[in-house]
Amino acid sequence: MERSNGTLMVEFILLGFSDIPNFQRLLFGIFLIIYMSILLGNGLLIVITKTNPTLQTPMYFFLGNFSFLEICYTSVILPRMLMDLWTQKGNIPFLSCAVQTCFFFILGVAECLLLAVMAYDRYVAICKPLYYPLIMNHKVCVQLVVASWITGIPVLVGLTYEIFSLNFCASNKLNHIFCDAPPLLEVACGNTYGKELSIHVAALLFITIPFLLILTSYVKIITTILKLPSTSGKAKAFSTCSSHLMVVGLFYGSGSIVYLRPKSNQSAKSDKVFSLVYTTVTPVFNPLIYSLRNKDVIDALKKLLPK
């Protein structure tokens, strides 16, 4: 990519938390603990959903895959951010920035789609319990997971190419903690309206539509639950869905604020905060939410971990 003066753009500078230089090492320690917690917590969920005989059901199959996706998703962002905090330098080569953006897009979309698949699983389990083993057989579950991973790849690779084919002549400094579309468009020169429109269309397809599918599933789930005669039956049905709803709320809430709201001059700092929510906070709380609110997972952890 060339600047207007003909010099080659070879790297970007991620500003990250450079506005608070005295807290760089403290933030390094905090985010290192967060990353280790993500690896440990989600890793434990993967192990117990694969090895415990009582958890060999579609719901826990999807949960194990979701935990693996969380590890991959945060590993695209946090190791690089930790290095920048430790060295107090945010230099990232042009190609590395493009690769990070592409994988961030692909894994983020996979997470949205997998959350929709998990909502569909709960819908079938509660609204069509007699047909559940037939509909959600192992082959279908594998196909749904694979589809979640690969559906967005062609579109998102193309979108990444479009973004990085822009001329970056304003500056090579990105006021963000990782390479993402909004800060990249801010430093691009020329007319970026078409690229911004492409990003909003992709967000509509891969964020809004899965969210509407989740919403539709839970409207039907809640309607079915309210018709149940026993209070204990209602409580049990709600408990199987509440964990998933909490994760959906954290992830979609913060992600939608960053990608679907109008641009403003004051959005950069808040974008960093909301980006931290869906890249670090949600993956940290995912194992806690599913462990503390799920008796089967707690029992499996007790069997796995030494007394």
**From CA 59, how far away is CA 147, in angstroms rounded?**
17
Could you list the mean pLDDT of each consecutive 10-residue stretch along the chain, which spans 307 residues? 50 84 88 93 90 88 92 93 88 92 92 93 90 93 95 91 84 86 84 82 85 91 84 72 82 68 59 76 82 73 71
Query: Starting at the edge strand that comes first in sequence, how are the strands of the sheet with 11-14 ordered?
Result: 91-93, 11-14, 173-174
Q: Which residues of 3-33 are buried (b: 16+ CB within 10 A; e: fewer)?
A: eeeeeebeebbbbbbbeeeeebeebbeebee
pLDDT at 4: 42
pLDDT at 107: 93
Sign of torsion over alpha carbons 47, 52, 58, 59: negative
Contact in structure between 106 and 156 (CB atoms under 8 Å): yes
**CB neighbour class for 230 (10 Å; exposed up to 12, middle 13-18, buried from 19):** exposed
pLDDT at 170: 62
**CB neighbour class for 277 (10 Å; exposed up to 12, middle 13-18, buried from 19):** middle
**Tokens at residue 107, please?**
């894994």
pLDDT at 235: 75
pLDDT at 257: 67
Domain ranges of the chain: 11-304
What is the pTM (predicted TM-score) of this model? 0.88
Chosen CATH of 11-304 out of 3.40.50.1220, 1.20.1070.10, 3.30.1330.10, 3.10.129.10: 1.20.1070.10
pLDDT at 9: 66
pLDDT at 1: 42
